[in-house]
Structure 1
């Protein structure tokens, strides 16, 4: 019995130490995963960002321009893209290429490919993504469901795969490059009321991890980035809080964890939130009472 007790105590101590080690490394990314000042510019000359006209995509464009890269921003709103381009050109003195493309549509990759095929792309950020609706609903309650299914698969899944297909050959040829695929914290567990959205983000996760295994030996870093709350149009510009970060806060934080592995939550706060959510029993998320209270919570957060 004494031996069994010792084994249990030792196992518990090892688990606690492992968790403390994870927390400590998350708190000190510059120590454990330092990134040299010229890291991104050594990879190439351009950063390509889908959904780059606002929110997280715009924040990535600003940050990479600040770090010395020229920027390609892709979105469906020419007016917004032109505004961001003027801001970056004036503030950062970088070249900015604007590509107008609606990534919810079919067969847009040829249009994008002709503009960026010859560029020396250092970083690709597959950021573009949509929700079926601002408020969470059951699958069959989604308004214009058939249309939303096509739009979400095109935007959240197909566009990411096609962008990788366009950019990867050049990175493989040069033996260097970075691909950041923006997933979501709710990809880690089945999430009722956001079933369609979270499922597309699971694809982003698995695709990114498989692609990293295939091309790591080619000198290419591929990482899925899994935020929770970020104050963007997608969530109705919820007020920043201990959980909800501004796009600028999130982007700067997430880049500190670029070398932390094939997946990151992008911030300490979102990492802790991820640990908590994964600890919630699956049966609790499947309760009808949870669905209703979650919907009311989101509605309240969005001022509904």
Structure 2
């Protein structure tokens, strides 16, 4: 039977929802055991959050000063050591997961499986290739530990359980490297919902026209309580910072509602929203590719349509 270790992603003492999505992937395999590993310098609050996720057996914690920041060089040796008795190690396919999982896989001497979007069996998975234009089936060697990043947009968030799973401190005898040190973390600060976990997202593209004009996107997003995203064209043009980029080379998201404003719909962008619930497109070009995937399309000037929508919302 499969025993799966899910690596918890967290920041500033809070568990990222991506962890619960990785647990959903583990649950799909019908594993005998699903444990969560929390690596931090202060584990208590994070571990208590993780313990509420439905489907997990235990939460293991490793509290060390070196775990204050998510440095892959520090975390990977601990993950590899903790994974000794597990058949699978699952990590969210986020910036965090894409950083740490390859190092952990290398230390375990196995090849990593990226962006798992479905499980056909305990060692058979499906993942996207060619910018999402094709889906490939990958079969892992049952004799080796499976290290996989989980495409969070393809999995639901595991529900909270009424009873919390037991929490146990783990003592890992592993030497950590000394050649890496944390300097600082630079990230955009916003009161808006997180782009990767928001249920509603409003994105703007090149059609918005300028950084100043992008205020109409921010205003509309705030009106409906949505996160803000952007196409690569808008990011490259300097309208918004790159952490807002949605698409193949940006963030892969799956909100319940996605509103694309002034976005033509290049395949790289569509890859990032293929799992969205309802897609609404606003573009003055009736032939824009975005309309081929949109559930609702509005053809017209965004600077006229958005104020009308805001007025209709009230």
Place the TM-score, normalised by the shorter chain, in its bin: 0.3 to 0.5
Greater fraction helix: 1
Q: Relative CO higher for 1 or 2, CA cutoff 8 Å, sep ≥ 6?
A: 1
TM-score (structure 2 length as normaliser): 0.35
TM-score (structure 1 length as normaliser): 0.36
Greater fraction strand: 2
